[in-house]
Structure 1
Amino acid sequence: MYGTDVALLVIDLQPDFMPGGALPCQHGDAIVPAIAALLDARHYATVVATQDWHPADHASFASQHAGRKPFDSIELHGQAQTLWPDHCVQGSARASLDARVDWKHADLILRKGTQRDVDSYSAFRENIGPQATRAPTGLAGWLHERGIREVHVCGLARDYCVLWSAQDAAISGFAVRFLWDLTRPVSADNDAVTRIALGECGIQIG
């Protein structure tokens, strides 16, 4: 078991990010058994799970922009915004956390992307403004108050929500370990760029 100052952060382990879902990661379902076993083993005294939880008319959905299609890019709040297929809609079955994991081991389940006009890849900050000053979700404060010094991150998707969460954890003052084998990307073509981005933040991979 890790020390009480180390937390596990499980990002968006939801059916819509797995094969057959609206926005599938490559082999996104393959990491579920290992993550389930990790929680069952109680290696971490603090576990946080995030849940993408969008209103049906979310601004990041291509369906909300006439003439646009998924994976087009627009400007939203002065930043580039990828438009996605409708996914993780609040209350839908495919927005639920994967049922193969025993989530009673999670100390906190943080829903993100809940505001219609604001996307939220990271567990720590909304997608508004420059990286270091984006609006906080409150997670960093919650972890700091529990005495957490180090965060290990896993889940979906490696090249978006897990990456952004790891970067923001580092910015928030935590040592960070990126559990690469317990993540999967939207596109493996992004893996090299993801590794570079993690290295630039001093994030340990492994």
Structure 2
Amino acid sequence: MSFRPALIVVDMQNDFCPPDGSLAVSEGRDIVPLINRLLASRHFILKVATQDWHPADHISFATNHAAPNNKPFESFVDVQNLVANKPEQTMKQRLWPVHCVQGSKGAEIISELDTSAVHFSIKKGQDARVEMYSAFSDSFGNLTSGDGGVSHDLAKELAAENITHVYVVGLAGDYCVKDTALGSAKAGFTTYLVEEAQRCVDPRTWSDVKTALADGSVTVVSMDGDEVRRVVDH
């Protein structure tokens, strides 16, 4: 099969970047030169950016829950799978500061990122009832394209271009980058996560994240490795 790679740049948004982001990931801006180098490559068939695009009443926002169980980063709430009308399915949802509210400055992609080569941007997490770290599905595995959750069916978009390999970069490595990469592999694409081109909310978890990625058939690769050299212009 021919090599038809795609690049997914995850959530490089103002609210996820220092110094002013409401959910700033440490060193989040430091990865921009690496991502821009990838975006400049002529080898990618498709280049996609993702954005969290939350309504103000999103279930993951700590301010939308009653005290004392409403501490950002610390508190968890039980969430039901209401999107699929399966309330018996539940999961624990970590609560976050308000971030990436639809139409806000914080939801915009940072200006340093060269988006001129991006074919389209996916706005995800638009359903207030459920978290959506992955650009492929929400946290329950639902794809709510056209129903308020996400603006594109990413798996279909990639398949339409006969994509074979997917490279994932961006923020944050332990949440949206990880889950997007796992979603890509689950959708049947050979998937790489470029280690130097991500940063984590909690860098201490990176070893566990890499284990989860390996278990989900995602390969963590280096900017200096053969997989990236294959797609970077020299």
TM-score by length of 2: 0.82
2:154 to 125, 139, 142: 139
Count of residues in Structure 1 that have an aligned counterpart in Structure 2: 200
Provide the rounded CA distance (Å) in 2 between the counterparts of 1:154 and 1:124: 15
Q: CA deviation at 1:4?
A: 6.0
Per-residue CA deviations over 1:128-176 (Å, capped at 9, x if unaligned) read 2xxxx43364110111111011100000000000000111111110100
Q: Which consecutive residues of structure 2, in runs of 5 or more, have no partner in the other structure?
A: 81-89, 146-152, 222-234
Alignment of 1:13-162 (within 5 A): 13-19=12-18, 20-67=20-67, 68-71=70-73, 72-77=75-80, 78-128=90-140, 133-135=141-143, 137=145, 138-162=153-177
Contact 1:4 1:46 in 2 (8 A): no
Alpha-carbon shift at residue 41 of structure 1 (Å): 3.4
Could you tell me how far apart the structure 2 residues matched to 1:186 and 1:43 are? Answer: 30
User: Runs of 4 or more off by more than 2 Å in structure 1?
Assistant: 40-43, 133-137
CA RMSD in angstroms, aligned pairs only: 1.4
Query: Any conservation in 2 of the 1:123–1:165 contact (CA below 8 Å)?
Result: yes
| Amino acid paired to 2:94 | T
Name the structure where helix makes up a greater proportion of residues: 1
- Ranges in structure 1 where 5+ consecutive residues have no aligned partner: none
Contact 2:4 2:44 in 1 (8 A): no
1:36-65 per-position Cα deviation (integer Å, ceiling 9, x unaligned)? 232123341210110011111211100000
Q: Give me the identity figure in percent.
A: 39
Please identify the structure whose Cα radius of gyration is greater: 2
